[in-house]
Every structure is written in C-alpha cells, then in structure tokens.
Structure 1
Amino acid sequence: MKKILQLFVLSFFILSLGYSQEFPEPQGYVNDFADILSPNIEKTLAKTLSDYEKETAIELTVVTVDSLEGLAVEDYTIRLANKWGVGKKDKDNGIVFLIAPNERRMRIEVGYGLEPDLTDGAAGRIMDSFVIPSFKNNHYENGVVSGVAGIIDHLGSTPFEARLEERRIAAEKRKLAREESSRKFKSRLMIAGMAMAVVLFFVLVVVKTREYLERRNYLKGLHEDNVATVKSYKSKIKSAEESLIYCSKNLRSLRSNNPETVWGDLNLRFDQFISLCNELRKEIDEIVSFAKENGWKNSEQVYEALVKLDLRVEEVVSLQGDIEARILEVEEAKKIALVTGPGLRGLMSRISDNVQHPDVTDKTRQKFDEAKELLTSADSDANVKMPDWIQIRKKIKAAADLLVIVEAYISKDKNYAKRARTEGPGLLSKIPTRINNAKEEVSHPDVGSEAKDLLARARSKFNEAKELSKSGSGWLVVFPLLLSAGALIVQAEDMAKGDKQEAKRRRNRSSHSHSFSSRRNFGGGSSGSSFGGFGGGGFGGGGSSRSW
C-alpha cells in the first residue's frame, strides 16, 4: 500500500510539471554527457554493464551531466530514470548512477523491484566508501568505476527472477511464522482476558466509588461558596442603597455645571437604581429558595444563576464610584484644556509660517488645516455656558497630535525638495546615456519583448520629465519622473541579462547532446556491445544522494 501511495504522489508530481524539462536521449549503458570518462573506460564499463544485464536481467546505467538545470539531484535523476525507462517493464529492476561533476552532486536511483536488495542506506555507503574518496581528488574515472563495481558486488550475480523466488519463499515462511505466533497469542490472550475482566470489575467498583466521593465533596464545597456569594451580594446592595443620598448630591453637582453629554448615562443609571435593587433582591431570594429545596446536589445550577447576577450587582455597587470618577475627569479635562490650549495656539502660529513654504506639499497643508479646525472647534465649545470639557480635551489632544505630524511632514517635504533640486539636473543629463546603453542590451536577439517594453516605458517617462523641465515646471514635478525612468532602466537591463543567460543554457544543452552523439557515431568511446534501449522500468524515489 505504501508503494502504491508513493507511486501515485510521484506520478501526480511529474504530470503537474508536464515534463517541461528537456533530457538527452540514452546512448547506451554509459552516457557520459559531461565528458569525464575516456573512450577506453566507457567501452570497458559498457561491456561490464551489458554482461551484467545478460547475467542477471538487471539494467544498470551510468549518466554524467553538465548541469542539473536548477533541479535538486533527486528530482533530476528520478525524472530522467522514468523518462528513459531503465529496468524491465513490470519488474522495475533498473539502477541509475548519475553524476553532476560541475555541481558536485551524485545519486544512485533504485527501481522499485530492487529496493529490497539495494536499500537507501546501502546506496549511500557505496558512494561514501568507493566513490567520494576518488571524486574529492578529481579522479572521476576511478570513482565511477569503483562505484559501479561496488553496486555489482553488493547485488551479486543472482538473476533477478531467482531473487523474486527467494523473496517469495522468505515471505511465505514469515507468513507461516506469523500465523503460528498469532495462534499462540490468541490462546494466551483468552486466559489473560478472563483474568483481566475480574481485575477490571474490582477496579471499576473502586473508581466509581472514588468518583462519587469526589463529586459529593465538590458539590458541598460549591454549596458553601454559593452561600457566601449570596451574603456578599446582599451586603453590597445594602451598602449601595445607603450611599444613594451621597450619589444624588454628587450627581446634582455634576448636572449643575456640565451639559447632558457629560452626565446623561449616569443620570439614567441613578433613575433605574431602586428598581434594579428590588429586582436583584427578588432574584436572589428565588435562588436561595431553590437551593434550600434541592440541597447541595444542585449547587452547580445555583452557582450558574449567581454568576449571571454578578454584572448587575456590580452595576449597582459601582454607581457612586463612577459618579465621583466622572467629576474628577471633568476637573482634570478642564485643567488640561486651559493649560494646553494657549501653548498649542502658539505652536500653530509658528507652524503656520512654515506650512506656507513652496516646498511643502498639499497633503501637509491639509493636515495643518485639520488641526486648525479642531482647535477652533475646541475654542468655540469652551465659550458656551456649560462647556463639555471632556470633549474639548479630546479635540485639543487630536489637534496636538496632528501638529506633531505636520512638523515631521514639513521637514520631510523640504528635504525631498532639496534632493530634487540637487540630484534632478544630474539625472536629467545622465539618463539619455543610460537609455542608449540599455538599448544595446535589449536589442540582442536573445532578449524578449518584456525587457524592450520596460525600456520603452523608461524612455516615455524621461521624455515627459524633459518636456516639463523645458516648460518651467519645478523639480518637485520632474524629479519623480526621472526616478521612475531610472528604476525601469535597471529592470530592463536585469531582464535582458536573464534572457541572454537562459538562451545560452539552451544552446549549451543542444551542443552537448549533439557532441555526444557525434563522438559515438565516429567511434569515440564505442563499447562494442549492442544497445537497443531500456526495458521501461519505473522508479519511486528509492536510493541515496551525496555531495563531495
């Protein structure tokens, strides 16, 4: 089942890539596309691998490549192996030994059918022991020959069909052993089960008894807590009622000096105070009556009912404190407004001169106007018969925050204008040369249309900036266009370089494939053994990778 799942995931991954990767066609048992093997070594290796295939039916191929084309060595090898179909169809008994010398990466990819004989760990040990020592000294031929010998020695000369038969016999023995073990286990399990049932019965009795006692103690403790909570609620309500006269006095004072926006919510709570206290007493009495009738066994229901009353009790209790807090809030707001207001008007006067500077943007002026409107509104609110000092303080604070932002914006606007006037003329004179240099890059036949479009946009931005400069527009208008043109030029140059590098890689791949085919056609490295292609085997990621 695990193999089937691996095959499904692998197949979906390969199909999703659409086989967009180009691979050379197989030339034989030895495919030296990286040209690291001499003709004699190729011939010897090819004969060894051909003879081994005839003896065992195992297809083993050696592949060297110039580049992995940006892929991980695992991805490149498995895709090449499946494309070539190394190994016999329906047996999947192929092995690919791939080396990428320029990237110093290699992999032994093992077909499904050989994974029990050549495990991932064994493949890794073969490379560690026989290949890497030679590769580290740049003795690639010795490393490849030793690696092939290591793989063959590990697998041995047993034909693949015989291996399958050995596995079948071993599997049958394991099956019989499991069946015998299962029979004995069931017998022992039956005896143990009877004993366990007796033990479990007594354990269950003990557990249930313990749970009952713990539950009873918990409910009794909760009952005591509920009694304490009821007493606390009644005490709080009584104290709140006793402070009602004091609350009335403070509320009248608050109403006499402030508009309704300050005291309206508190006045509503005061009007509802008596009725709310009566409602709470009635509900508490009902809860107490229910608790007496049902005893401690229903303590959880009583607790939940009391929790629902908590916020309403606190609303009653907190009225006095909330009225006092509102009085203090009004006094503090009035003090801050009277102290901060004059200083803020002085700051606004100083900023007013700076905000009219020609380098300051409309956005900054708009922020300044918002602060001015807030401060004017606060002054107007303070001149009524009953000012809302809390709202006045909020407006003054908002105006102060805006003025801090305006000061920062003014500094930023002036610095940007200074930069525009300092760097603008230089950019205006340099960009034409940069456009001409970039034109040479993007005019190359390997460069695509996207880089050309970027350069065209840069030229358009520059021409617009040039015309505005001639018409007398300031550098604050011209400079952003020049910056945009410069950024587009850089993007066009980078894209042109990338297009040329990709085209060069495509030509190199084509050249290597042609060179390899020509060398074989003219006898260079000919193995002398016939090769009619691989048998269509499949791979699922078994094997191991190394670097050196």
Structure 2
Amino acid sequence: MNKINPAWFCRFALSILIFFSVSCAFAEDYPDFVGYVNDYAHLLSAPQASSLNQELRDFDNRSTIELAVVTVNSIGREDPQGYATYLANLWGIGKRGKDNGIIFLVAMQSHDIWIETGQGLSGDISSRQVQQIVDEIVIPEFRAGRPDQGIIKGTRAIIDHFDGQSPVQGAGAPAPAAPSRSSAPSSQSQRGKDGILIWVGAAFAALIALSRAFFDIINPRSAQAGKNKTKLEGIRRDLDMMVEDSTAAIEALKELRANYVPSVWKPAEDAFSIVDLNRLELEYIRAVKASKRGWINAPAAQQLIDGLESSSRIASKNISLPMERLADAKKSQNEYQSRLAGLGLAFKQAENEVAGAQISMTTMMELEKAKQLFREAKDMAGESPDAVDWIAL
C-alpha cells in the first residue's frame, strides 16, 4: 500500500491554502442561490420564472434530482464548466451521497451555455445527450432571439429525459450504453491511490471552506456586498413600478387639466416633469456594475446605491403626485357641496334663535361676517366647477 509522505503533504496543503486564500480575494462575484431558478440576467418574465420553478420543484419531489437554472451576465475569466461546477458545490446542488445535481448555466456576455451533471447521473444521461439538448433545443431558440424559450425548452428536455420521454432519442431507441471503463488496477495499488485522492479531496474541501470563512469574518465588506445586492433588487422593483405608474400619472394630469384650474394641477405637472426615468435607469446600471465587482468595491458601490435610492424615492413621490392631486380635488369638491348645504341649515337656525333676543354687538358682527363668507362660498359654488380651486377652498 502506498504511504503518504507527511512532509510532502504539509507542503502541498500549505501551497493549496495560499492558492485558495489569494484566489478568494480576487474570485468572481458568484451569485447567491435563490431557488431552482436563479435568473440574474433577467431573461425570464416573473410568471415564466415562477412556473419553471414549480416544475423543477415537482421534478425534484418525484425523482430526487435537483436541477438548478442560473443565468448571469458574465462569468468573468472563468470557463463555463469550472464556473458551473463551483456553483454546484457552493450551492450544494444534489442530494447528499447521491451527487445527482444538475446546473443549467447561461452566461450572456460570453455566449456560454453549459449543462453540468453530477457523477451520480453519469449512467442515466451521457455527455452526448446533454450536448444534443444544448445544440438542438437550446441554441436554436437563442439564435432566434428567444432566450426565455431556450431556457424553458432546454430545462423541460432534461426533465423529459429523466421521465423517460427524451426528446433527443428517437421513439423506441435503446438507452445509451454506460460509458466504458478500463480494467481495474491491482487492488493494493488502487487502495493506495484512492487513499491519497481521499486525503487530497478532503484537504481541498476543508481549505476552500476555511479560506472563504476567513475572508467573510475579517472582511466586513463581504457583508456590505450582500446588503448592496438586496438593495439593488428592491430598487429594481421600484423602477419597474414607476414605469407603470407614469402611465396613470399622465392620465391623471389630462383629467386635471380638463376639469380644474391651474392652481390645482400645475404643482403636480411641475413635479412630474422633472422625473427622468432614463437617468435613473443609467444610474441603476452603473450601481449594478459597481456591485458586481464584489466585496473589494463594496463601499464605492454602496455610495452609488444610496444616491440612487434617494433619487428613486423623490421620483416615486413626484410620479404619484398627479394621482394624489386628482383624488384630493374630487374629494374636496364633494365635501364642499355637502358642507355648504349643512351651513345653510345652520344659519337659518341661528337667525331663528337670535330673533328678538338680546345679543352683544360683537356676536352680531361675528354672525354678519360669517353670513358674508357663506354668501361668497355659495357664489363660488355656483360658478363653473373648472373655475374653482376646490383644494384651496
């Protein structure tokens, strides 16, 4: 049985530790796992992502195979296989002891599409069949400008294969033969090599975990990078909502201009006119790029995100102002009429009560002043509705 040289192994482990410590400092900013569908490149609509996520959950429940879809804008300098393999290990895709996970990776900037399968599935799907799914189902949709359909159809092709309905095998075609294996070496030699591989594999796994934990603990920027990503997701939702609200704001301004005096609608129009959604979108893209540089650039990204968050709040308030002014004008107009009717009855009652009664000159003057204001209010109410500032009144 081969023996491990302790001195050699220590030197080897130390070199690996240094390598991974340095590489972690300059590693790509890997995305967080959010579910079966991780659409960071925004290629799927919300309903598509939700539906596909449910399909993959059902597939996992009936087959125990975990299939994760991930789309990113860039994988940096990494090759797609290495990136997909690292993500599978980082996210823990596949059941423990089965190694039956699958990563379906799409990288838009480098035009990479990669499907990585765990070793536990090597006898169930071959590399040739995986390549057929990519070449015959996924790529044609991407070339036709339908990346969403490429992802959906490619994912379903994988599911269909394991459900016994493979679209890349003809009907009745025999199942692919298991990959051939070379004859095994002598048991004593193999045990020695296996022992070394187990030790090396364990060392790799432990050193990777320790190095990542080390940087997370001593570097608070890593935590800030996570907060930045969460804030950007919220800002993205706000920007999308503002685009939808802009249509309603334009309709509200049209109604305000048609039915009310300028003092009612002019403040809302002025506020809405200074909103620049294109500029906000550019600021968002700049903040996303800064955030993707990882924890090293986290403070600079935070400044951009904080500024964008403040601008978004102001823009959202300005966009909502036309709807608020319209609602206030309608409410004030209705309340004004009902209050006038109530005041008319109140004055009649007051005149009846003071008739023949001894009241002070001050009270009489106050009553006359109130009656004069009431007459003016009635006169205003008699004017055309579009000539009255109901909110001020």
Q: TM-score, normalised by structure 2?
A: 0.38
Q: TM-score, normalised by structure 1?
A: 0.27
Q: Which has the higher helix share?
A: 1
Structure showing greater relative contact order (alpha-carbon pairs closer than 8 Å, 6 or more residues apart): 1
